[in-house]
Amino acid sequence: MTKPDTTERLTRCKALLADLVAFASVSADGNRAVTEYLAKALSAAGARVEVMPDDTGLQANLFATIGPDTGDGIILSGHTDVVPVVDQPWTFDPFAMTETDGRLYGRGTCDMKGFVAACVAMAPEFAALDLKRPVHFAFTHDEETGCFGAQRLTAHLQARGFRAQAAIIGEPSLMQVIDGHKGCYEYTTHVVGLEGHGSSPDLGVNAVEYAARIALKLTALREDLKARAPADCPFDPPHSTLNIGALRGGQVHNIIAGTARLDWEMRPVQVSDADFIKAELAAYVAQLREQMQTIHPEADITTDIVAEVVGLAPETANPARALAMSLTGANGAGLVPFGTEAGLFQSIGIASVICGPGSIAQAHKPDEYLEIEQLSRCLDMLARLADALTDSVKNNSDR
């Protein structure tokens, strides 16, 4: 077939991106509408499409395939939810894409509807080729709030015995190849005590004081995490980290605080570190709870899991990294400090890598933008992928 004109390809992609930005798919409000739009676009291109709503019907994952039904395909993955724009001083309408000075402004242009648009723009070209291996499109919900959509999707794929050679997750990396990041585990600990007059602190159970003790225990465990750092760990810092995000509770100066809330997180370099922290905290909380309940039997401490997203572990042999390097011309791979859905695909046995247009420095900010040059480079990568998928000889080697 005649090679598509790159200018026409970019124009088509920008039109798709403008449509995607117009969907205000803020995580809390749902992504169902934008998912249905993508499903129609991919179906029109000839893809086999499955939309998987959650129990509320407001959120949905999409999984689509073009090409033969074999287990050596390539997954192109991105999330379709975005962060809120409330109280951000935007110059442009965040949900009406604006093109100026070589940039595309709008919420989600960088994080990460630009990559999604590039994938869908390429779908007709994939469908027009005699692919020897399939390309899969995996678009998820609720990444920004805890990668909940990708957790559901990867569990679904694993349950049905799905296989693939590699997954490329298009988070903004300036089209650099990224093969590792730490996990992201977030928690909220709730403390329920007993209110009373501030002049008689022994007659109450001060929830803020107990929450503060938990915070101090967690910060003390940081030193243990440093000592547990694996040898030759490539991350910076090379050990798991723990952060106290917020402590809220009480009412006024002279009332014993009846409730408190502690928000905290850890970024483990290995799952065993997370297990260690949770076990140490559980033992300490059991001691505190016993103390509290000698005064007030209904006092309690509970911890909610906000999100537990595994990291992307750098691997000596990684077919996804080898593929992304061959498609981009990169001669190496790096690490990033932020979390993605890549580790979830890796956890079900699919080699994974991050490579997408735009800079993470623009994500979540007012006047978020994507450089058009970055979008063009992404389209070029996907065009080279299309050529690779028509080759009956698979190259699974790393370099």
Q: What is the pTM of this model?
A: 0.90
Judged against a pLDDT cut of 70, whether residue 222 lies above it is answered with yes
186 is catalytic: no
Question: Considering 111, 125, 142, 143, which one is annotated as catalytic?
Answer: 143
Reported confidence tier of residue 56, pLDDT bands at 50, 70, 90? very high
Mean pLDDT across the stretch 300-310? 95
198 pLDDT more than 60: yes
pLDDT at 348 over 50: yes
How is residue 279 written in tokens? 């076990």
Write the DSSP string, 140-184: ES-TTTTSHHHHHHHHHHHHTT---SEEEE---STT--EEEB--E
Q: What is the pLDDT of residues 233-248, one digit of tens each?
A: 999 999 999 999 999 9
Confidence category of residue 396, pLDDT binned at 50, 70, 90: very low
For residue 397, the model assigns a pLDDT of 45
Question: For 108-130, what is each residue's pLDDT tens digit?
Answer: 999 999 999 999 999 999 999 99
Q: Please give the average per-residue pLDDT across 216-229, as a whole number.
A: 96
> Hey, what long-range contacts does 5-14 have (CB within 8 A, 24 or more apart)?
6/376, 6/379, 6/380, 9/121, 9/122, 9/125, 9/379, 9/383, 10/372, 10/375, 10/376, 10/379, 12/121, 13/117, 13/118, 13/121, 13/375, 13/379, 14/97, 14/99, 14/104, 14/117, 14/372, 14/375
Q: What is the mean pLDDT of residues 306-317?
A: 94
User: Residue 311 corresponds to which tokens in the numbers above?
Assistant: 């990291």
Is the pLDDT at 49 greater than 50? The verdict is yes
Q: Is 233 exposed, middle or buried (0-12, 13-18, 19+ CB in 10 A)?
A: middle
Rounded alpha-carbon distances, angstroms, from residue 379 to 82, 102, 170: 22, 16, 12
Per-chain mean pLDDT for the chain: 95
In this prediction, residue 1 has a pLDDT band, given cuts at 50, 70 and 90, of low
pLDDT cut 90: percent of the chain above it: 96
